[in-house]
Chains A and B, each alone.
Chain A
């Protein structure tokens, strides 16, 4: 219970000490606010002077910076030296050189950022334009090729068609000729058969006519010839009969009557000389009048010659696909797992600052306050009462704890709701971490005050105890730091607090992820409280 007596007194005392109260509660908020105004404002548009920048590049810079065209390089460098401008951009084909004043890292950073953005955008346009140009060229090339191709195809087709047409023509003509020939012969045969028929009967008539006439004539001549021949022959046979009688008389006179088989030779008959008939065939004239043949019914087939027109191949039909340049320039875009691009310097250090200020102010005020108890003799006086040492330590811890809670809540509320520091994780978890950090600092401050004889010596702990913690807590990355630095950072409470805070605020981690850190903080608190109790033995052996 004595702890609460001490705690109540500490609280009462602090409430009466307005200045300390203000320092404890409003000073952190004030300092945080100052830092917010300083670090929260980013140099959005650095002042740049351009020398000999091509138009495209200039306008790219115009989007990112406040740029003016300078004429003279040395004048521009003078401006830079006198900080009238933040940077000088000089183009000398093909390179761009950017001169930066360099004494202010935030301006340097802003210039670099702006310049890289400008150059990226310039290069993008440049590449795209070049690509488009190339593409257009290519397109034209293709178009030309297509045109040529089309022209050649067209002439090819035309000539082929012509050939084809010629061939067809020839073919048709040949067929025509054949057909006409056929027709002619058909007509001819048709005509000749009709003619023959007609002629035949006429000829027959004429011939029979003539034949009648000739046969009559011949008959007459032949009958005359026959009568002549007959007369001759009859005279010759009479003469010959008279000779044969003479020959038989002669033979009988001589040989008596002949046995059978005895050869008798008859006298040679000499036939009369008969002249062939001189037959004169009467001339028969046959006059045949040719029949008139009507061939009007013979149709000559009409052959229509197909006209083959060569297809008109216009090269404009062949569309060269528009090579519009989505010739994508690889664009680097940043995407954050945690945090975002528009985080100001303040945002990136806010959780650390929160932890640090909670830690720092509690350390100083609790430390000095406990120190004052030692110096003023009130601690001695308290120790002359039957109070146990741990009760004093706990009383102080509880009493200051109330203010620490108040301070922590206020700082946190201020940062989150007024300065809009984004906390990805749980607000309450941040509060818990801050509280553990603050109690650790409270315990550390009261403990260390035992080793200070006055306020001045208490403040000497700042560079020894506080600053290394700030440097090592994670505000600056220790990843590449030597191992001993990393090891050293592990003995500081603030490291664990800051780590937990950034884990919650940036990465949104939960209780289980930072439980180790919180345990360490709690451990530190308990350790310092125990140590403080032990150190109080210096004041009373009880």
Chain B
């Protein structure tokens, strides 16, 4: 082993000395001891590596990163309760997706709600219905889901509208529709049915035209309500009648 080869090997020698007993370095270190000039190179190399390690290990870490990791994984864990509510929610989502899908793809009649609402629900609820793991986060606690959405910069206000935060949740999903971020939270109603809240930020003139008072319409077996609060647009969807949905629309 000549000095060039030894130098090549010693570039992998950790400055903390953890590798002192590694036989791969033995010959190179012996070479260092025999050659004072090479020893100086090695000392300088170790000093440089030590300084780099110290500087790199002093790089600050975001103060909320730990909590964000723990909360994110906590809400993503499937809850232990797997009861009929979940199954009914998945089934309901499938029906909603199919219903809205028909309206979108076949255009059988004019739809009184915006395309993003229909396409978003069709795409997302259908995919969730096919496989429940498509939720980005799963929790029965709406606070956890809101926290998760906020941590991931998805559209959501800290307080959910219309007292929905009192309902247990199934999960949430984030996605983009034409470059526009959209959030979805699925809740379970006391009798086991599902109700879905879709949220997105105001970004276009047509968004701004949406009124504060909810517009409740019937879409086949489904009722939807759409309204705007400040910079947030909400859509609530329920398999049932307008009257039933009206109960959750203030």
Q: Do A and B come from one complex?
A: no
Residues of B within 8 A of A (CB): none
Residues of A within 8 A of B (CB): none
